[in-house]
Every structure is written in C-alpha cells, then in structure tokens.
Amino acid sequence: MPNTIADPNKIEYGLSSIYFAPLTKNTAADGAVTYTYGNPVALVGAQAMTREPQGESSSFYADDSVYFTTTTNNGYTGELTFIKMTDQIRQVIFKEEVDETTGLMTERADVLPAEGALLFQCRGDAKNTRHVMYDVTFGRGSEENNTKEDTISPTTATITYTAIPIEHNGKQITKGKATEGATCYNNFFKSVVLPGAATE
C-alpha cells in the first residue's frame, strides 16, 4: 500500500511564486519519450489561477445496476490572471522577439507558445505548499485597456492553459506538491522535481 501522510492544513489560500520551466521532449526509436526541463523562471504579477479537471466518468451496467465505473484523467485546463502582460511573459511564454536594431518587440504568428512545467505556491493555515504541473501549454492571452477616470483601476491579462500528464518511470503523472518540511521543498523552484529524483 502506498505511503500516506497527514495534511497539516485545514485551508489553502493565496497564490505566489509562479515559475515556468521550459520543456523539451525527445522521442526515441522505440517510441519512449524523455522529458528535459530548463531552469524555472519567475513570472511576476500573478493575481489568480483556476484549475478544472479534464476527463470523463463512464458506468457499465449489469444485473439491472451499475456494475463498474471508470474515470479518465486527462489533466487540467484553467486560466492564469496577471496584473499585466509583462514583457517577460511575452518573451518567456509567447516567444515574442526583440529586434536588436529598433528595440521593437514583435509577436510572430508562425511560432507556438512555450511548453513546460508550471510551478507555484499556496499558503495554508499551518504550512505553505508548493505545486508543479509537469506539461503545460498556453493559449494566447487576452488583454484589456480602458480610459483613465477619476480613480486609476489597473486592467488585467488572462492566459488560458492546458496541463496534460507525462510518463515517468512507467506512470502517468500530471502534477505534484510538496508541503513545508518535505525534502524537496526548499529547492522546489530551482529545478523541476520528479518522483524518485534526488534533490539538493
């Protein structure tokens, strides 16, 4: 039976320390995929994050009743809301380019957004928790600009994302978390942590 640990938190709240680690996938001749992550980069200005599970439940009937029920886990979809679409996000996530001659930053229609791990921290009433989703792709962000009125109200930028499972040591894993006190907690944002991998 797998090891179990008691959750020290009654509630979880807050959102901070969002990082993105670019992912490179290599497929071998036998079809096996290896995943290589770059160093996590901090994304500043996060306001909110949603996570909606993706998958379906199916029931099979026999003897006039539900005989067997199965559920598929296809990962998550959600939205990330930032106080603004920073130049860092434009370059790290959406691969926008800065022209050396003019300093002009341009969005290219023939370049896909980056793919990688998304790491973040939530507070708890007892201990903080750090989370990772291992394979995230992003949709184009939406932005809003309004005229200035009597008071200044900052607008926000919203980015949609999809998180899917990766295969690691024969298992399909989508996300992980570490609570304060876990071996990998202190260095969680220095590199992407996988089950069974040694951490410094």
DSSP secondary structure string for all residues of 3-32: -------S-EEEEEEEEEEEEEEEE-TTS-
pLDDT in tens, 108-126: 999 999 999 999 999 988 8
Per-residue pLDDT, 156: 84
User: Alpha-carbon distance 77 to 59, whole Å?
Assistant: 24
Strand runs (DSSP E) across the chain, as ranges? 12-27, 33-37, 41-43, 46-49, 52-53, 57-62, 65-71, 76-82, 97-98, 105-106, 115-124, 129-138, 142-143, 157-163, 166-168, 171-173, 175-179
User: Alpha-carbon distance 8 to 70, whole Å?
Assistant: 30
Locus of tokens 């199916």 = 58
Per-residue pLDDT, 147: 67
Work out the mean pLDDT of the chain and round it to a whole number: 86
Per-residue pLDDT, 3: 65
99-105 average pLDDT score: 95
Q: In this model, does residue 57 exceed pLDDT 90?
A: no
Kindly indicate the confidence band of residue 63, based on its pLDDT and cuts at 50, 70 and 90.
low
Q: In this model, does residue 64 exceed pLDDT 70?
A: no
The structural domains of the chain, with segments of one domain joined by +, span 12-55+69-179
% of the chain beyond a pLDDT of 70: 83
Q: In this model, does residue 135 exceed pLDDT 80?
A: yes
Range of weakest confidence among 8-22, 51-65, 128-142, 143-157: 143-157
Per-residue pLDDT, 17: 92
Tokens of 105: 């930053």
Q: Which residue has the higher pLDDT, 164 or 61?
A: 164
Neighbours of 188 (CB within 10 A): 23
Per-residue pLDDT, 19: 96
Q: 12-55+69-179 has which fold? A: Pnp Oxidase; Chain A (2.30.110)
Per-residue pLDDT, 144: 67
pLDDT in tens, 30-43: 878 889 999 999 99
Distances (CA, A) of 130 to 60, 65, 157, 179, 181: 38, 42, 24, 6, 11
Q: What is the pTM of this model?
A: 0.83
Alpha helices in 15-171 (DSSP H): 87-92
